Amino acid sequence: MSRRGELARQHLQPLDVALRHHRTYTWLRRSVLAASLLLTVGMPMWHLRARDAESAGQAVRTGFGGARALGLPGSAPDVVGGPGAVELFGLELVDPLPIAAVAVSAGPRWSLLWLAAPALVLVLLLGRFFCGWVCPYVPLLAVSNGLRWWLTKLGVPLLDVRLPRRSGLVVLTSVLVASALLGLQVAPLVYPPSVIGREAFRAVFYGGLGAGSLLVALAFGFDTFVSRAGFCRSVCPGGALYALLGTLSPVTVKLDRPKCTGCTVCDVVCNLGQSPMNGRIDEGCERCGKCVASCPTDALKLGLTLKGRA
Amino acid sequence: MSRRRVLLGLAAAAAVSLVPRRSRAAHRIRPPGALPPGAFEKTCIGCFRCAEVCPPKCIDFASVLSADSGTPTLDLRAKACTLCMRCTQVCPTDALRPVAAEPGAVAAQVRMGTPQLDRKRCLPWNGEGACSLCFQVCPYPDRAVELVGLNAGPLFHPEACVGCGLCEEACPSLARAIHIEPLP
């Protein structure tokens, strides 16, 4: 390509990237994330509206008054729960982490396996996809990353501590052991999707945030000032469990080496410290596809690998 | 390496501070159909479905930093349970066992707490006035509570009471003589 054409290409790059985002399933992922957020905040509103419609005339405890203004119908659909444990029109999608903790502390039951089965199948096929596609912490992580970018621009020194990935497994084991020893569930207290779902519900129903927000704030602070996406990468017990369960997941990012120019963009956009450019992708990959979308030469693709790992 | 140690230490300290004393977690009013104290805390995953479907919105989560903040509790004095049993139908882990919304099944399977009457504060009993609100709101009148004596004061029968707290909620504010005691 002529030098002129190359320059033109450089100028066009933002547009080019935007189009590429269109082409890949980035928008699909964003839709799923949006649906997850809608579930987190919108469903409590809808249920609140349904309760208020039912108890019209009775004294109603304080709550979010906007549900009525939003014009939601008076009866909620058959959807209950947050993104961590939702029943979608009869289909149970319940996080395997709390189910595993219940099995450890209250003893295993077959009914628990059936309960977790639909989500388990997804995790076995897609590994940590929950982290990039569904977790309600993802928008906060995006804000945290943006904040990191701005603070770095402003010259604020930021740490980027890389905890060993194993530390997630240590947290996971601690959560399970603590649940068994203390005789209560620890995961709902420290696991962000569970905490965020409950906090959002309480904020909508009762109009206030609880101590759980403190944990989310701590995770946010950790990710922003100490380690980029460090909580997701090496602290979150759920992420560690999904990585473990998804070790044999057939869906992986594949590198077409001849097309790669070594520009490192894919390595830089990855939140979870993977290195698609070098073909070094392990079970920690959340299948978010940001590397695929950002590759200027289309050298990366999400595909099926029967061996398990590429 | 030392920084990592410090961070891990901080994380451990945060985790320890979240860990509560068990005694505090055990004495709480739980939604109807709940497993016995102890088993309930082991089985509830804090998904808030029960609270989401509750018509009187009486199920809440503690907002303070404690082991309870992940499990549903009821403040019956503020808002009592109307025994619709919807929460028991949506629990994914059966920490709340399903109970049919039918008076016989509810009476047989639901024990949320034990009623306690302070006769010194109860208006008919201390002679300060006539009142039968608890009797009037009780879903099991003449079984869980009956009116006895010259002033028609309430007499509770804990063995027939489901602990819904409608009486505690209705008890006039100048008396506040009724309290539903959580299960031991």
ipTM for the predicted complex comes to 0.79
Q: What is the mean pLDDT of residues A20-45?
A: 83
Q: What is the pLDDT of residues B5-49, one digit of tens each?
A: 666 666 665 555 555 544 444 578 999 999 999 899 999 999 999
Q: What is the pLDDT of residues B46-92, one digit of tens each?
A: 999 999 988 888 999 888 877 778 899 999 999 999 999 989 999 99
Q: Are residues B50 and B68 in the same domain?
A: yes
Considering the domain boundaries, does residue B178 fall inside one? Answer: yes
Domain boundary among B109, B140, B171: B109
Q: Which residues lie below 8 Å from residue A266, measured CB to CB, with a gap of 6+?
A: A276, A277, A290, A291, A292, A294, A295, A300
The answer to whether A276 and A260 have CB atoms below 8 angstroms apart is no
The answer to whether B163 and B112 have CB atoms below 8 angstroms apart is yes
Q: Are residues B93 and B163 in the same domain?
A: no
Burial class (CB in 10 A: 0-12, 13-18, 19+), B139: middle
Q: Which residues lie below 8 Å from residue A244, measured CB to CB, with a gap of 6+?
A: A169, A172, A283
The answer to whether A158 and A152 have CB atoms below 8 angstroms apart is yes
CATH 3.40.47.10 at A250-310, yes or no: no
Instruction: State whether residue B181 sits within 8 Å of chain A by CB.
Output: no
Q: Which helix (H) or strand (E) segment is B51 a member of?
A: helix B49-53
Q: List the beta bridge partners of residue B59.
A: B74
Q: Are residues B37 and B63 in the same domain?
A: yes
Considering the domain boundaries, does residue B44 fall inside one? Answer: yes
Instruction: Indicate the residue type of A250.
Output: P
The span from the CA of A207 to the CA of A232, in Å, is: 28
Instruction: State whether residue A44 sits within 8 Å of chain B by CB.
Output: yes
Q: Which residues lie below 8 Å from residue A13, measured CB to CB, with a gap of 6+?
A: A296
CB atoms within 10 A of CB A219: 23
- The reported pLDDT for the residue numbered B154 is 94
Cβ-defined contact of A87 to B49 (cutoff 8 Å): yes
A136: which 2 tokens? 């309600």
- The reported pLDDT for the residue numbered A118 is 92
- The reported pLDDT for the residue numbered A300 is 87
Q: Which of A53-67, B61-75, B157-171 has the lowest mean pLDDT?
A: A53-67
Q: Cβ contacts (< 8 Å) between A179 and chain B: which residues?
A: 42
| A and B: number of Cβ contacts within 8 A | 156
Instruction: State whether residue A234 sits within 8 Å of chain B by CB.
Output: no
Domain boundary among B68, B88, B109: B109
Q: What is the mean pLDDT of residues A147-173?
A: 89
Q: Cβ contacts (< 8 Å) between A194 and chain B: which residues?
A: 45-47, 70
- The reported pLDDT for the residue numbered B167 is 94
Considering the domain boundaries, does residue B95 fall inside one? Answer: yes
**Cα distances (Å, whole numbers) of residue A123 to A127, A252, A286, B5:** 5, 13, 11, 32
Report the share of chain A in percent with pLDDT over 70.
Answer: 83
- Residue B119: which domain range? 111-184
Give the residue among A277, A278, A269 at the shortest CA–CA distance from A26. Answer: A269
Q: Cβ contacts (< 8 Å) between B63 and chain A: which residues?
A: 202, 208-211
The answer to whether A283 and A246 have CB atoms below 8 angstroms apart is yes
Q: What is the mean pLDDT of residues A242-248?
A: 91
Q: Cβ contacts (< 8 Å) between B79 and chain A: which residues?
A: 61
Cβ-defined contact of A94 to B39 (cutoff 8 Å): no
Q: What is the CATH number of the domain that holds B80?
A: 3.30.70.20
The SS3 of residue B115 is strand
- The reported pLDDT for the residue numbered A98 is 92
- As for how many domains chain B has, the answer is 2
The answer to whether B61 and B48 have CB atoms below 8 angstroms apart is yes
Which residue from B minimizes the CA distance to A83?
B47
Cβ-defined contact of A47 to B90 (cutoff 8 Å): no
* Helices first, then strands: H and E counts in chain B: 9, 6
Q: Are residues B94 and B117 in the same domain?
A: no
B142: which 2 tokens? 């003449």
Question: Is the model more confident about A211 or about A100?
Answer: A100
CATH 3.30.70.20-classified regions of chain A = 250-310
Domain boundary among B109, B129, B148: B109
Considering the domain boundaries, does residue B132 fall inside one? Answer: yes
Q: What is the mean pLDDT of residues B125-150?
A: 91
- The reported pLDDT for the residue numbered A16 is 60
CB atoms within 10 A of CB B124: 22
Considering the domain boundaries, does residue B14 fall inside one? Answer: no
* A interface test, pick of B21, B30, B45 with most A CB neighbours within 10 Å: B45
Q: Cβ contacts (< 8 Å) between A182 and chain B: which residues?
A: 19, 22, 67
The three-point CA angle A28-A204-B16 to 5° equals 90
Instruction: State whether residue B6 sits within 8 Å of chain A by CB.
Output: no
Q: Which residues lie below 8 Å from residue B68, measured CB to CB, with a gap of 6+?
A: B20, B24, B25, B28, B61, B62
pLDDT of B172 higher than 80: yes
